[in-house]
Structure 1
Amino acid sequence: MTADKVQAGAIDAAHIAANAIDATKLTVTAIDGKTITGAHIRTAATGRRLELAPPGATYPEMRFFPGWGGDYSLLQTRDDIAPGEATLVITSSQDAAASFRAQLQIGATLTRLNVMDQNAAQPKGGRLDIASSYGRYGYYAGSPATETFMHTDGTGVFYIRGRYLDEAQMDAYDAVSVGTTTIGGSGGTINYMWVLYPEPMAMLMGVVAMVRDGAAGSSCRGGITVTRGWLRH
């Protein structure tokens, strides 16, 4: 071995003494400005640590480990979410019951915040979409049967998907109030009900209501009287 010649195989694990290379053997600028390829970089072997390009990672990835267990949150850049884009993805650790994760996807035309399953593979809760062409807030857990949301876009209108909760009392700022009631009485007894809303109701337009007779074999008689602030049947 000379200064300019090293025989092939001359340097291997059997020829390097333990601790031969450590912080005292590297100069301050030994890797300054250099390129490290194919490396798994971590700030510690266990406990609180940061890992860059860990083994098994599919995308450019950085993992953040707490001081306990093997659960972690991660930061990725992905090219499989939006064509032609490098989408930044931040995923939380699992919850204590290992049932959920939260995920934030930041793209050029769509930013999405979603509660996901434990593997961050499927939606499993609330969702917020901020897109270049629309905005949407709601809930989605993989089934259209339970999906609800409010959708807005550049047309200046919005729509709501889902069923309204059956309410017993209206509030001054309710946009829509839906409820059911039973009107009692029989024979010559007058049957009636009140559908009330307060006078300072926001955007007051008067009563807009539908009354349906749901009793089997009967029909609604006597008409419906509507005045400002109340409806009488």
Structure 2
Amino acid sequence: MHLMRMLIAAALALFMIAGPASALVIKQVEPDASWAAADWAVNLVGDHIEVSLQKEFKVPEMVGAPLVLEFTLQDNDLGKDIYLVHAGDGEEVINSTGLAWGDFHFVLVNPPQVPFLPPPAGATFVELSGVSSDLFGAPAAASGSQIDFLGGPVPAGGVVHFSGIRIAHSGGEGAVFYLKEIPTPEPGSFAIVCFGAGVLLFRRARTKGR
């Protein structure tokens, strides 16, 4: 009986520290998971929501293309900022594209107000002075709707973390916003991609000319 009481007390203490799961609903809308994929866990922690987020860009075609997540607010999410974290650090992004990245961009999109569709959440990046990356350092530019990290590089097979990214919102239950994350190639990788595309077009032209 004493052991049971100790286990219950420990479980209650853990619940008070980590908080219950938030009702915030997240869905990957672009692209197919075979090209890029996100894994997440959502928890209420005090007065905010922590989203433990890990993303992997898997194919070369994703360099320059966005991975898009849709966030739908629920009733108990009202007034709570959203923190992007991973294992006690910032959001983790894995580069499995085979190409080095020079830049990385975060973009928030609030959909227009349209009858019979979910309302916009009024999402915005906040506390921008605390945003940083272990590879990029501080962002080159940051606003309520976009954060740009420049210079890298993030090598092929590399991992980069982005810390301090917080999202405030003013929407009610059912309101939505979208988070886009976009890697862009470093100049050397971009040149390789362009050269490969040029060779492919040249071969196609020669084939048609025969």
Greater RCO structure (CA 8 Å; 6+ sep): 2
Computing the radius of gyration from Cα coordinates, the structure with the larger value is 1
Asked whether the two chains share a fold, i.e. TM above 0.5, the reply is no
Higher helix share: 2
Category of TM-score, reference length = shorter chain: under 0.3
Higher strand share: 2
Q: TM-score, normalised by structure 2?
A: 0.28
